[in-house]
């Protein structure tokens, strides 16, 4: 064999990388390999010749390529294809291509074996041709020397076959004799002394799924003029199947008829399993290379081969059809102001014993736009520490850098706002420990920032208050967050009133805005006290007014009423006397005065009743409402209904009076504004409450508008109810009209009828 094999490799893409990486693993063949990664480039280089061996992919062959060996005689050729395409490769093998390697199961051993066999077969053919040309000149002595050489060759063959791990066999097609070495016999579970298994025994052990394919391939090989038959199949040994790589050399006579087959069966089961793992790994790598957003690349520093994925190619304005950019192009595209520093850091790692280089820098893309790159490179070194291969990824982080810069600006703005905020701002982690506080928080708590960083929310709160009113953590998770009022303990031990607005952040921490409301709470307390005093005064004034009304009503009823009654009696007596005198004019005048007195008496009674119904004091609230409702119906013509349950509770006089005044005011409002035709009044006792309801079927109104206007009548009714500790509600009914309801809690349970004065 040549001291160095000159190879032309015609394979594209990742297969070329894999083939070369496998070829570099061998230490048996010295070689020089040139690559041609396109069909056109391969044909151009092949035309120039000067190669010992062509290794070419089936994809590169054209329709006239079966004549390739005729065009370039004397150069051995190995074909590369997938197992599924082997049928398409058979015509090329028939036309003189020496061997075929299956890409699906490619290994370094198979490559070396094929190269050795192909080169040796080519040399054997050349030697045979030379021998035929000089056959006439051979003498008997030469024939004897040839026999001696043949014997030496046979002995050498036997010696090699006994030392190899392969199962070596030979089949003489002329006399059907068989020979095999011990390893071949072991594959069948036999010894060297046992007969060599025949073809049928070999066929029976082939896996059923591989059997017909293998027989067809063998028939094609024997029927053609090819000298090498290569196959891979599953072979039964014992109770299991092993993967066998079988290489057979076919010797033919001068007519091309096969006369001898010599081959070797190599157990490649472990290698096959490893290959399948590699195939799966390569498939995953190809998938990652296609789907990742990173620009992936690889460079073989021994062969000079470079590979990159589509993203990497796009970075330089290239496609997958273009050759991967060289290292110099990457250097040139680095921003001028950063180039020297980037290259120095890279070569510092490259020339050291380190394997990883990581850097961030800016470079120009194919549009001459400046982009930010995050670059990671892994350097593979041989046993001597010398770099032999590099692989890396380049990630475009331009948008990330912009976002990072925007985030920094946002954080600066946020920090400014936080620091300048008048409210105290606390940020705590999930354990409640403070992680961020602003100056206002320091001022409010009187602790330093360092002290606060060592504290939790519970250090500033009243433990008893937390027990009674725990923190609303679940409410903080809502979009609105949680608001509450609490007490906070300052460093000096003083508790202050605070308002808290808290919300959980997306990272699990929670943010709290705290405002000192101590002065506001004091003001609210003072306002409430003032309001209570005003309400107490109002209640006193109302009671005084009611007493005054009662006094005036009684005076009108007792004194003025009595005087008018006496006057009426006197006028009536005088009228009778005058009537006897038969003076018509005086009689008529007297009767007019008498009628006027009757009307005056009625007016006095009505005024006294309006000031203070006597029934309210004499017979109680129920009777007073019933009487007033009847009189109201007579005056207004509105139909009225009164419903009452068996009320069994005594009401204080002032409460009964207030309820009656609320009822009276509501009736006045209905008469003035409602345009109602029907009114229903209910007075009931339910669940320890006295409930008064007044409903009408009038036109109704929008309660929100009336509340905003603060109508005095409604406001007075509400105040009366609240001064009794009750509730006043005003609602618009679905079927029209309005309803007022007063609920007055009962504090005493005593029999009731009328409240006596």
- Give the pLDDT band of residue 707 (cuts 50, 70, 90): low
Q: Return the pLDDT at 133.
A: 41
Q: Is the pLDDT of residue 134 over 60?
A: no
Q: Return the pLDDT at 132.
A: 44
Alpha helices (H) along 95-192: 108-133, 140-163, 182-187
CA distance 228 to 220: 11
Among 560, 723, 588, 576, which residue's Cα sits nearest to residue 657? 723
Query: Above pLDDT 90, what percent of the chain?
Result: 17
* Placement of tokens 């007055």 in the chain: 744
Alpha helices (H) along 652-745: 653-669, 703-709, 712-723
For the 292-402 domain, the top CATH level (class) is: alpha beta
Q: Which residues of 141-177 are buried (b: 16+ CB within 10 A; e: fewer)?
A: eeeeeeeeeeeeeeeeeeeebeeeebbbbbbeeeeee
Q: Is the pLDDT of residue 74 over 80?
A: no
Q: Return the pLDDT at 350.
A: 92
Distant-in-sequence, close-in-space partners of 225: CB < 8 Å, separation ≥ 6? 94, 96, 252, 256
Across 20-34, 60-74, 438-452, least confident range: 60-74
For the 421-516 domain, the top CATH level (class) is: alpha beta
Q: Is the pLDDT of residue 712 over 90?
A: no
Q: Return the pLDDT at 293.
A: 77
Q: Is the pLDDT of residue 2 over 50?
A: no
Q: Return the pLDDT at 145.
A: 56
Residue-wise pLDDT tens digits, 107-129: 777 787 777 767 655 544 444 44
Sequential DSSP letters for 373-392: EEEEEEEEE-TTS-EEEEEE
Return the DSSP state at 650: P
Residue-wise pLDDT tens digits, 499-521: 998 888 888 888 889 999 888 88
Q: Return the pLDDT at 557.
A: 63
Q: Is the pLDDT of residue 750 over 70?
A: no
CA distance 197 to 178: 8
CA distance 33 to 51: 9
- Listing from the earlier edge strand, what are the strands of the sheet with 482-489? 434-437, 424-428, 510-516, 495-504, 482-489
Token output for 89: 């490769």
Mean pLDDT score of the chain: 80
Among 26, 41, 27, which residue's Cα sits nearest to residue 9? 41
Residue-wise pLDDT tens digits, 25-38: 666 677 788 888 78
What is the separation of C-alpha 751 from the centre of its chain, rounded to a whole number of angstroms? 70
CA distance 243 to 274: 12
Across 1-15, 40-54, 586-600, least confident range: 1-15
Q: How many Cβ atoms sit within 10 Å of the Cβ of residue 505?
A: 10
- Give the pLDDT band of residue 170 (cuts 50, 70, 90): confident
Token output for 53: 């061996």
CA distance 48 to 66: 19
Q: Return the pLDDT at 679.
A: 93
Higher pLDDT, 369 or 570: 369
Token output for 188: 């069948």
Q: How many CA atoms lie within 13 A of 470 on its CB side?
A: 4
Q: Give the pLDDT mean for 379-383.
A: 90
Among 605, 603, 647, which residue's Cα sits nearest to residue 625? 647
- Give the pLDDT band of residue 164 (cuts 50, 70, 90): low
Alpha helices (H) along 367-498: 398-420, 439-445, 449-452, 463-468, 473-476
Distant-in-sequence, close-in-space partners of 646: CB < 8 Å, separation ≥ 6? 685
Beta bridge mates, 252: 258
CA distances from 723 to 530, 643, 649 (A): 14, 26, 19
CA distance 752 to 269: 107
Higher pLDDT, 100 or 74: 100
Across 23-32, 280-289, 351-360, 592-601, least confident range: 280-289
Contact indicator for 375, 335 with CB cutoff of 8 Å: no
Is CATH 3.30.565.10 the right assignment for the domain spanning 615-757? yes
* Placement of tokens 């961030």 in the chain: 360
The CA-based angle 313-318-319, given to 5 degrees, is 80
Q: Return the pLDDT at 614.
A: 65
Which long-range contacts does 452-456 make (Cβ < 8 Å, 24+ apart)?
452/426, 456/428, 456/431, 456/432
Q: Is the pLDDT of residue 348 over 90?
A: yes
- Give the pLDDT band of residue 751 (cuts 50, 70, 90): very low
Torsion of CA 513, 516, 517, 522, to 10 degrees: 170
Residue 6: φ, ψ to 5°: -95, 110
Sign of CA dihedral 332, 336, 340, 343: negative
- Give the pLDDT band of residue 753 (cuts 50, 70, 90): very low
Contact indicator for 192, 179 with CB cutoff of 8 Å: no
CA distance 84 to 205: 22
Q: How many Cβ atoms sit within 10 Å of the Cβ of residue 337?
A: 9
Q: What are the structural domain ranges in the chain?
A: 5-131+142-257, 292-402, 421-516, 615-757
Residue-wise pLDDT tens digits, 616-657: 766 788 888 888 898 889 889 999 999 987 666 667 878 888
Residue 246: φ, ψ to 5°: -110, 125
CA distance 265 to 243: 10
CA distances from 513 to 428, 488, 495, 504 (A): 12, 13, 18, 12
Higher pLDDT, 525 or 562: 525
Q: Is the pLDDT of residue 346 over 90?
A: yes
Q: How many CA atoms lie within 13 A of 651 on its CB side?
A: 26
Higher pLDDT, 124 or 313: 313
H or E segment and range at residue 713: helix 712-723
Q: Give the pLDDT mean for 677-692.
A: 90
Q: Return the pLDDT at 121.
A: 54
Q: How many Cβ atoms sit within 10 Å of the Cβ of residue 423?
A: 16
- Residue 56 three-state SS: strand
Q: Return the pLDDT at 678.
A: 93
Torsion of CA 539, 541, 544, 550, to 10 degrees: -90
Contact indicator for 308, 296 with CB cutoff of 8 Å: yes
Q: Is the pLDDT of residue 401 over 90?
A: no
CA distance 99 to 662: 115
* Placement of tokens 């250097």 in the chain: 331
Among 376, 367, 413, which residue's Cα sits nearest to residue 397? 376
The top-scoring range by mean pLDDT among 3-17, 301-315, 643-657 is: 301-315
Q: Is the pLDDT of residue 339 over 70?
A: yes
The predicted model scores a pTM of 0.35
Residue-wise pLDDT tens digits, 549-598: 776 766 776 677 677 777 878 888 887 778 777 778 887 888 788 888 88
CA distance 219 to 215: 6
CATH of the structural domain 5-131+142-257, one choice from 3.40.50.2300, 3.40.50.720, 1.10.286.10, 3.40.50.300? 3.40.50.2300
Torsion of CA 684, 685, 686, 690, to 10 degrees: 90
Q: Return the pLDDT at 748.
A: 45
* Placement of tokens 């709160």 in the chain: 461
Same topology, domains 292-402 and 421-516? Answer is: yes
Q: Return the pLDDT at 200.
A: 92
């Amino acid at each position: 064999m040549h001291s160095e094999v000159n190879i032309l490799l015609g394979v594209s893409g990742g297969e070329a990388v894999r083939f070369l990486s496998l070829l570099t693993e061998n230490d048996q063949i010295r070689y020089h390999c040139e690559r041609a990664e396109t069909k056109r480039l391969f044909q151009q280089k092949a035309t120039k010749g000067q190669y010992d061996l062509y290794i070419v992919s089936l994809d590169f062959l054209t329709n006239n390529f079966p004549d390739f060996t005729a065009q370039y005689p004397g150069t051995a050729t190995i074909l590369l294809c997938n197992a599924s395409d082997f049928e398409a490769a058979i015509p090329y093998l028939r036309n003189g291509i020496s061997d075929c390697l299956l890409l699906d199961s490619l290994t370094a051993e198979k490559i070396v074996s094929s190269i050795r066999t192909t080169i040796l077969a080519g040399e054997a053919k050349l030697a045979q041709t030379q021998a035929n040309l000089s056959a006439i000149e051979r003498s008997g002595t030469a024939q004897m020397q040839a026999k001696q050489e043949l014997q030496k060759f046979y002995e050498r063959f036997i010696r090699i076959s006994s030392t190899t791990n392969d199962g070596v066999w030979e089949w003489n097609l002329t006399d059907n004799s068989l020979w095999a070495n011990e390893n071949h016999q072991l594959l069948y579970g036999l010894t060297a002394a046992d007969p060599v298994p025949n073809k049928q025994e070999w066929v029976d052990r082939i896996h059923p799924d591989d059997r017909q394919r293998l027989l067809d391939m063998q028939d094609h090989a024997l029927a053609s003029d090819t000298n090498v038959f290569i196959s891979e199949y599953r072979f039964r040994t014992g109770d299991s199947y092993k993967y066998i790589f079988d290489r057979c050399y076919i010797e033919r006579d001068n007519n091309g008829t096969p006369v001898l087959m010599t081959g070797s069966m190599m157990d490649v089961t472990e290698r096959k399993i490893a290959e399948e793992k590699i195939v799966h790994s390569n498939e995953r790598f190809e998938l990652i290379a296609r789907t990742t957003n990173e620009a992936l690349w690889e460079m073989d520093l021994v062969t000079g081969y470079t590979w990159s994925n589509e993203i990497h190619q796009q970075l330089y304005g290239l496609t997958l059809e273009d050759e991967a950019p060289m290292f110099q192009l990457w250097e040139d595209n680095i921003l001028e102001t950063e180039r020297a520093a980037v290259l120095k850091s890279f070569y510092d790692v490259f020339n050291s014993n380190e394997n990883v280089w990581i850097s961030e820098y800016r470079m120009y893309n194919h549009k001459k736009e400046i982009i930010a790159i995050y670059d990671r490179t892994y350097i593979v070194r041989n046993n001597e520490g010398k770099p032999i291969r590099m692989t890396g990824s380049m990630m475009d982080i331009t948008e990330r850098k912009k976002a990072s810069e925007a985030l920094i600006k946002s954080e600066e703005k946020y920090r400014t706002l936080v620091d300048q905020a008048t409210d105290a701002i606390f940020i705590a982690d999930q354990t409640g420990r403070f992680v961020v506080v602003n100056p206002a928080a320091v001022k409010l708590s009187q602790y330093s920032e360092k002290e606060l960083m060592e504290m939790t929310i519970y250090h500033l709160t009243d433990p008893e208050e937390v027990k009674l009113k725990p923190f609303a953590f679940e409410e903080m998770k809502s979009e609105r967050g949680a608001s509450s009022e609490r007490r906070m303990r300052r460093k000096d031990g003083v508790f202050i009133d605070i308002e808290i607005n808290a919300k959980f952040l997306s990272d699990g921490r929670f943010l709290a805005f705290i405002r000192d409301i101590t002065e506001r709470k004091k003001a609210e307390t003072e306002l409430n006290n003032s309001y209570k005093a005003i309400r107490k005064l109002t209640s006193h004034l109302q009671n005084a007014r009611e007493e005054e009304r009662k006094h005036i009503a009684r005076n009108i009823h007792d004194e003025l009423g009595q005087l008018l009654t006496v006057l009426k009696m006197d006028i009536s007596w005088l009228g009778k006397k005058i009537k006897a005198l038969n003076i018509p004019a005086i009689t008529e005048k007297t009767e007019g005065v008498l009628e006027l007195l009757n009307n005056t008496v009625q007016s006095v009674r009505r005024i006294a009743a309006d000031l203070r119904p006597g029934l309210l004091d004499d017979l109680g609230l129920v009777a007073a409402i019933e009487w007033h409702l009847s009189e109201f119906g007579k005056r207004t013509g509105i139909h009225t209904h009164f419903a009452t349950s068996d009320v069994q509770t005594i009401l204080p006089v002032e409460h009964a009076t207030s309820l009656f005044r609320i009822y009276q005011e509501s009736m006045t409002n209905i008469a003035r504004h409602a345009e109602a035709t029907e009114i229903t009044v209910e007075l009931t006792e339910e669940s320890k409450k006295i409930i008064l309801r007044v409903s009408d079927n009038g036109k109704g109104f929008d309660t929100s508008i009336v509340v905003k206007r603060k109508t005095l009548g409604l406001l007075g009714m509400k105040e009366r109810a609240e001064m009794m500790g009750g509730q006043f509600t005003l609602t618009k009914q679905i079927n029209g009209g309005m309803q007022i309801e007063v609920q007055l809690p009962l504090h005493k349970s005593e029999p009731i009828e009328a409240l006596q004065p």
